[in-house]
Amino acid sequence: MKKSLSIWLTAVLTLFCAACNEDKPVTKESTTKTEMIHVDLMNAKSEKIGMAMLSEVENGVKLNVEVSNLTPGKHGFHIHENGNCTAPDFKSAGGHFNPDMKKHGSESSHGPHAGDLPNLEVSKEGKGKAEFIVKNVSLDPGQKNSLRKDGGTALVIHESADDYRTDPSGNSGSRIACGVIK
């Protein structure tokens, strides 16, 4: 009796283990990177005014942003080419991230830059929250369009709305906040 119970348990365990090791097809979803990148957004006084979270998705990079203590209205919002946010003017961030050498703006026939984003709307309370899918960029450091290239890139908020056509920066005014993407 003990011998037949032992054989029976061995057979059940063998079948169970074989089922666990069954090959499953690899899908695009199962290979998508889910790493989240956190970016603190700082103003010209080096005070934190918000944060952004970036993650790779199938058709680009998902960008969630929350800000506070900004002037109400629309603000130009871009990804810049250098991962450097030296206050107070943030000019160290360079121009818009533009690996494909296009013109600025979604309304330009020769655009947009990869770093051109929709305007960030800020409420009368000085708060803003948005989610975008940024196409034509990646978080994979090995890609030409990677936001995590050597030296990184930066998220920059401007004082005024982007007009989506004026090259090179959408006539969006001074840079008022910045955060490094590494």
Task: Pick the catalytic residue from 23, 38, 78, 167.
Answer: 78
38 is catalytic: no
56 pLDDT above the threshold of 90? yes
How much is the pLDDT for 98? 78
How much is the pLDDT for 172? 75
One-letter amino acid at 57 equals: V
- The three-class DSSP label of residue 28 is helix
Tokens of 61: 């990079």
158 is catalytic: yes
Task: Pick the catalytic residue from 75, 148, 158, 162.
Answer: 158
Longest distance between any two alpha carbons in the chain, whole Å: 86
Domain ranges of the chain: 36-181
75 is catalytic: no
Higher pLDDT, 138 or 9: 138
Q: Quick one: what percent of the chain has pLDDT higher than 70?
A: 69
Q: At residue 120, what are phi and psi to the nearest 5 degrees?
A: -95, 120
Q: Give the up-direction half-sphere exposure of residue 17: CA atoms within 13 A in the CB hemisphere.
A: 6
**DSSP code at position 162:** -
Cα–Cα nearest to 154, from 98, 96, 100, 76: 96
Task: Pick the catalytic residue from 75, 148, 162, 175.
Answer: 175
Per the rule left: phi > 0, alpha: psi between -120 and 50, beta: everything else, 173 is left
110 is catalytic: no
CATH topology classification for 36-181: Immunoglobulin-like (2.60.40)
139 pLDDT above the threshold of 80? yes
Task: State the chain's mean pLDDT as an integer.
Answer: 80
97 pLDDT above the threshold of 60? yes
- The three-class DSSP label of residue 31 is helix
Q: Quick one: what percent of the chain has pLDDT higher than 90?
A: 52
Task: Pick the catalytic residue from 104, 140, 150, 165.
Answer: 104
Task: Pick the catalytic residue from 23, 89, 113, 148.
Answer: 113
Distance (Å, whole) CA 39 – CA 131? 14
Give the Å distances, CA to CA, from 128 to 30, 42, 64, 110, 138.
33, 15, 11, 30, 25
Question: pLDDT for 37-46, tens place per residue?
Answer: 999 999 999 9
116 is catalytic: yes
Element (H, E) at 5: helix 2-20
pTM: 0.77
Task: Pick the catalytic residue from 80, 110, 148, 165.
Answer: 80
Q: Are 37 and 179 in contact (CB under 8 A)?
A: no
104 is catalytic: yes
